[in-house]
Structure 1
Amino acid sequence: MNFDQILSAIGGFGRYQKILYVWICLPQILLAFHMMVSIFTGATPPHRCRGFNSSSVAADLSSVPGSVNFSLLYSPCSSTGVPLQDNRTERVPCGRGWVYSQDTFQSTTVTEWDLVCDKAGLNSLGSSIYMFGLLVGSVLFGAMADRYGRRFVLLLSIALQTVFGVAVAFAPNFLVYMILRFLVGATISGVIINAFVLGTEWTCTKRRMLAGIITDYAFGLGYMLLAGVAYLIRDWRKLQLAISAPGFLLIFYIWVVPHSARWLLANDRREEAIALLRKAALVNGRVLPPVTQVEKCEIIGRRTQSYSAVDLVRTPQMRKRALILFYIWFVNVLVYYGLSLGVSRLGTDLYLNQFVFGLVEIPARTLVLLVLPRSRRLSQTGFLAIGGLACLLMLTVPEGQPNVVTGLAMLGKFGITASFAVIYVYTAEIFPTVIRQTGIGVSCMFARIGGVLAPIINMLDTHNSTIPLVIFGISPLLGAVLALALPETANRPLPDTVEDVENWDMMRSLPAKDNPEKCESVSQSASSTEELELQHLASQI
């Protein structure tokens, strides 16, 4: 028997797996907190040069001959200096710091370390460094998981995320703050990768996609809850502590989170694997097959030939599809985080916007479940087009109508979230089995580059507010056009080799592979069991 047959025999998505997914979903809420908290902790409230209280303003006015434009005294990055002729005053940089409005925030990293004016770019740099931490963490903790096991690395990542997250609340300066945020980002990748892989390795193929969407819903719940937590806690250090400290409550994971039986078998730890499988069968009300069959279980999907990332671009058809997929991954993450991190610029209630931005993820992912079985290509194109057009339409809204701009931003977030849900399924079906995981891994690298660039592009808003929206609008529209050049994979056989990709026209005439109707039946072959293992990996990068 292969492992999927054993898994089907003991219950492919029974009570044991459902309990496991509860444990997997809880950290997703904390992940959403850490991913989006910079919207509040790094917010820039209205500010002006220090010293412009009523008495100092009166003194400044008395020293300036004739009339003066009073509003100039409140320039956020300069102050009046020596009076000049023609009722003008010389503008000089703020020499005594800034005064910040406390109508919305008691304190942020911006107000504490004066990350405004000449140092405003440091705020966006901090967000980019955090995103870079995700990139480093995926490489580091992904490799560790293959060597030391999913459970160990998952527990280690949660522990480090909690410790570093709490430490961020006590950062003495901005440099230490950025370093700690980088480390938090790295550990988040460790949680994302290993939590989902652990779940998929315990779940039958038929329910694997649905189980992955469940964890996405948990992330959306955390997205919405953050708005309420931030509304109640307006001090950035207390807010950072509030979202990080609950991680200590997950210490009971040491006793409840199991190893991956598949990983144990692959690493010749068969006695431990048999004990876990027997426990899962007992919880699911099933009977474990004879131990002799389990001991002879072969972990399917092992490669007999070595492949590398070069094979993604070695042949014409594979190269075309790979480059298009890389670009779409990049665009999805770029626009997703560009809109998410730019929510404070919409001009309406920040906390309400944050809540709705999280809320729209629920119907977006639900719609994907309805339309994806009909067409992967048209779904990808349509959702990218919605996201891009919504961003461009924001440029046409006259000033003074922030509600309309907010509505279009929500529509753009809806489209790009749905597009994101499509792309990791679509990618798993386009790349052939022999380089599927390699292709998804390289795609994730391009996605994280988009995450690093998103805060930098948002920073351009201070120079020209149209530049970020033009980029966030045109980029997905180009991706929508390119997606039309990809093959339709809905209900079609999956390619197993690069030659299958090059001979796609002949493959289209073949009937689709049969899928199991129930989790209790025998699972698919190696090509289908591997196809979704990493589908969720990039959905929250």
Structure 2
Amino acid sequence: MMSEVEARATDVDPLTRVLDELGDGSSLVWIIFLFTMFPTIFAGMHSNTYIFIAENPTHWCAVPELTSANWTSEQIREVSSAGACAKYDYNYSLLAEIGFAESRRYVAQRIKDATTLDCTGHNYADDTDRTSMVQEWDLVCKDAPKRATTHMALSLGKLLGAGFLGVSADKYGRRSIYVLGIFMFIVAGPASAYVPWYWGFVCLRLLTGVSFSAIQFSSLTTLTEVAGNTHRQWMAVAFNCGFASGPIIVAGVAYLSWTWRQIQVATSLPALVLLLFAWLMPESPRWLIAQGRRKEARRVLERFNGPIKDDYELPRTTGTGVTGKTVDGAEEKKGLSLWSDQMRGLKVIFGCAELRLRMFITCFTWLTASLTYYALALNVDNIAVDYYLFAVLQGVTEIPAYLVPTPILIVMGRRQASSMLFVLSGALLMAILSISRSNTAVIVAATLVSRFALSAAYGVIILYTSEFFPTVSRNSALGVSSAMAHVGSIVAPYSVVSLGNVVWWGPSTFCGILVLGAGVACRALPETRNRPLADTVQEELAEGRGSVSLGCKCSR
């Protein structure tokens, strides 16, 4: 270990030096990697429970008069059904009295002139593997949008969590938001399995989404700030495998479940183990150093390194990296609103033309990746293939897609890799225009390979984004980017429905155009391969680190 004299001679912060040494391979790095990846398994499970807990069984209008007369479901449907959401306007009390055989003759004579009524209640066929929330809360026909709202609430929660808690982590610390997210999830997740009210379930799904964003992006930022270049590269990509394994686990859980509530319980209660993570997760030493909380940073580092001498005096800087003001919390101006404090990281970004341009590009690429990812999953009807087969194939290709970036990033930089994968994905989607709809196998193959490349590109762009913003605004950048990704996931189902109703290749072509645009946009970003992370704006904009635009001037 370097002596104090040597440290001063080389003008190296001893805490930063020790952090860099630990980042090259230590228990600190592995602990944070585990605490980052494991919770994503729960996020992957809950993001994919929808297809099992909201299964839509065959349904028809309920006719209480005929049910009371002990008619079978088949008899009631034959006599009364005018579709899944309407019934013929007959005197059903009379039909119940005369019996099924006579009612068939009665209906045959009047069906041409019969009017219809909307259903006031529904009966359901026993043609699904388990009871679903659709049956429990009657989420069909005019209330069918409520079924989709349960999935929308999760995405909206992730959006809100990324937008607000992501920014808050730059102010209050990565660990604080991580712990908050865990406590939110272990309450909202299990509670959603028992709440008897539809809107109560929706609110709990919203909170579950918020908790996932709080956990994921605070821990990912900590991992990025602690891991050295070698480990940061593959860890920031490999942690996505936890999310990809979620659908596989859910499939097994659903196979063994008889009700949708059992699935909710089985995918939520195991999260109690995250309480241990909340206890053991360290605060990001790099964030503590950037905030001027050096004693706390030293305590964290000494747990994994041993005693550290720290007599180093840093220049007085603000949280934005501008000299002249202290960053210590005790000396900050009082009276600032909570919102102003939370917006500090964003002010850093949007007060600098260079960082602002990077933010616009990353928002577009994240939104495009997420929108296309979910649109391709929901586009199954437009490519005329069995939904369950398609879902299984998507799950099988998900994990390899997240592993592919690791060898790619060994031989090429982030900019080239992300651009190449986006362009490949977009080109395959555009190629569907030349394929006949009857050639299902080729369409499915093109869609799956495109989604494979897109998932790989998404893994690269997450790492890429975390590397070209300074510590003082990194979590804010990741939070805003994630928020845009969740906007994409919210828009995706509407783009599939609206464009698919016009022409079957509409959704894939729309996504292909966006993805090609993202590939071109990535070429404009600076390369971050094999370069150290910057803590302040000045460090990030130093000569030789690359830029999107020239002559960037930061507001003070």
User: 83, 87, 108: which is aligned to 1:75?
Assistant: 83
Of residues 112-121 and 74-83 in structure 1, the stretch that sits farther from structure 2 once superposed is 74-83
Q: Deviations over 1:104-142 (max 9, x none)?
A: 342222222222222222223332232121122123323
User: 25, 32, 40: which is aligned to 2:52?
Assistant: 40
Indicate conservation of the 8 Å contact 2:55/2:134, yes or no: yes
Stretches of structure 1 lacking an aligned partner (at least 5 in a row): 61-72, 282-286, 506-541
The answer for the alignment partner of 1:68 in structure 2 is none
The answer for the alignment partner of 2:338 in structure 1 is none
Indicate conservation of the 8 Å contact 1:32/1:219, yes or no: yes
1:14 aligned partner, one-letter code: S
The answer for the alignment partner of 1:259 in structure 2 is 283
* CA distance in 1 between partners of 2:509 and 2:287 (Å): 46
3-state SS of 2:116 partner: strand
Structure 1 position 152, deviation (Å): 3.3
Q: Does 1:384 align with 2:425?
A: no
Structure 1 position 24, deviation (Å): 2.8
1:290 aligned partner, one-letter code: K
3-state SS of 1:48 partner: strand
- Equivalent residues in 2 for 1:142-157 (5 A)? 142-157=166-181
The answer for the alignment partner of 1:222 in structure 2 is 246
Structure 1 position 186, deviation (Å): 0.8
Structure 1 position 194, deviation (Å): 1.8
Q: Does 1:92 align with 2:116?
A: yes
The answer for the alignment partner of 1:525 in structure 2 is none
User: 460, 468, 484: which is aligned to 1:422?
Assistant: 460
Over 3 Å counting, the alpha-carbon distance change for 1:458 and 1:229 in structure 2 is farther
3-state SS of 1:360 partner: helix
- Equivalent residues in 2 for 1:95-244 (5 A)? 95-244=119-268
Over 3 Å counting, the alpha-carbon distance change for 1:415 and 1:165 in structure 2 is same
Structure 1 position 396, deviation (Å): 6.8
2:88 aligned partner, one-letter code: T
The answer for the alignment partner of 1:338 in structure 2 is 375
2:403 aligned partner, one-letter code: T
* CA distance in 2 between partners of 1:488 and 1:385 (Å): 18
2:489 aligned partner, one-letter code: G
* CA distance in 1 between partners of 2:173 and 2:475 (Å): 18
3-state SS of 1:99 partner: strand
The answer for the alignment partner of 1:524 in structure 2 is none
Q: Deviations over 1:9-52 (max 9, x none)?
A: 45632134223322332212111112222232223233333458
Structure 1 position 237, deviation (Å): 1.1
Indicate conservation of the 8 Å contact 1:133/1:182, yes or no: yes
Over 3 Å counting, the alpha-carbon distance change for 1:160 and 1:437 in structure 2 is closer
2:51 aligned partner, one-letter code: I
Indicate conservation of the 8 Å contact 2:162/2:217, yes or no: yes
* CA distance in 2 between partners of 1:157 and 1:318 (Å): 28
2:163 aligned partner, one-letter code: V
* CA distance in 2 between partners of 1:255 and 1:440 (Å): 24
- Equivalent residues in 2 for 1:455-474 (5 A)? 455-460=493-498, 463=501, 466=504, 467-474=506-513
1:158 aligned partner, one-letter code: I
Please report the RMSD computed on the Cα atoms of aligned residues, expressed in angstroms.
Answer: 4.1
The answer for the alignment partner of 1:448 in structure 2 is 486
Q: Does 1:290 align with 2:309?
A: yes
Over 3 Å counting, the alpha-carbon distance change for 1:112 and 1:94 in structure 2 is farther
3-state SS of 2:268 partner: helix
The answer for the alignment partner of 1:24 in structure 2 is 36
1:80 aligned partner, one-letter code: Y
User: 279, 285, 304: which is aligned to 2:322?
Assistant: 304
- Equivalent residues in 2 for 1:519-534 (5 A)? none
Q: Does 1:497 align with 2:509?
A: no
Q: Does 1:357 align with 2:381?
A: no
1:364 aligned partner, one-letter code: A
Indicate conservation of the 8 Å contact 1:324/1:483, yes or no: yes
2:76 aligned partner, one-letter code: S
* CA distance in 1 between partners of 2:184 and 2:309 (Å): 40
Structure 1 position 404, deviation (Å): 5.1
Structure 1 position 188, deviation (Å): 0.9
TM-score by length of 2: 0.73
Q: Deviations over 1:401-438 (max 9, x none)?
A: 76555444322321221221233344456678997766
The answer for the alignment partner of 2:515 in structure 1 is 476
2:373 aligned partner, one-letter code: Y
Indicate conservation of the 8 Å contact 1:49/1:77, yes or no: yes
3-state SS of 1:369 partner: helix
Structure 1 position 222, deviation (Å): 2.2
The answer for the alignment partner of 1:56 in structure 2 is 76
* CA distance in 2 between partners of 1:267 and 1:498 (Å): 21
The answer for the alignment partner of 1:517 in structure 2 is none
* CA distance in 1 between partners of 2:297 and 2:470 (Å): 30
Indicate conservation of the 8 Å contact 1:309/1:438, yes or no: no
TM-score by length of 1: 0.75
Indicate conservation of the 8 Å contact 1:9/1:288, yes or no: no
Q: Deviations over 1:483-535 (max 9, x none)?
A: 56x25737698994399647669xxxxxxxxxxxxxxxxxxxxxxxxxxxxxx
Of residues 271-280 and 26-35 in structure 1, the stretch that sits farther from structure 2 once superposed is 271-280
* CA distance in 2 between partners of 1:97 and 1:116 (Å): 10
* CA distance in 1 between partners of 2:526 and 2:209 (Å): 35
The answer for the alignment partner of 2:448 in structure 1 is 410
Q: Deviations over 1:303-331 (max 9, x none)?
A: 1079966975986x887765444322211
Structure 1 position 157, deviation (Å): 1.1
Indicate conservation of the 8 Å contact 1:233/1:239, yes or no: yes
Indicate conservation of the 8 Å contact 1:312/1:435, yes or no: no
* CA distance in 1 between partners of 2:466 and 2:218 (Å): 18
Structure 1 position 256, deviation (Å): 2.9
* CA distance in 2 between partners of 1:430 and 1:252 (Å): 32
* CA distance in 2 between partners of 1:11 and 1:216 (Å): 20
* CA distance in 1 between partners of 2:124 and 2:383 (Å): 20
The answer for the alignment partner of 2:100 in structure 1 is none
* CA distance in 1 between partners of 2:526 and 2:516 (Å): 19
Indicate conservation of the 8 Å contact 2:357/2:548, yes or no: no
Of residues 207-216 and 4-13 in structure 1, the stretch that sits farther from structure 2 once superposed is 4-13
Structure 1 position 240, deviation (Å): 0.9
3-state SS of 2:194 partner: coil
1:367 aligned partner, one-letter code: V
Indicate conservation of the 8 Å contact 1:10/1:288, yes or no: no
Structure 1 position 334, deviation (Å): 0.7
Greater Rg by CA: 2
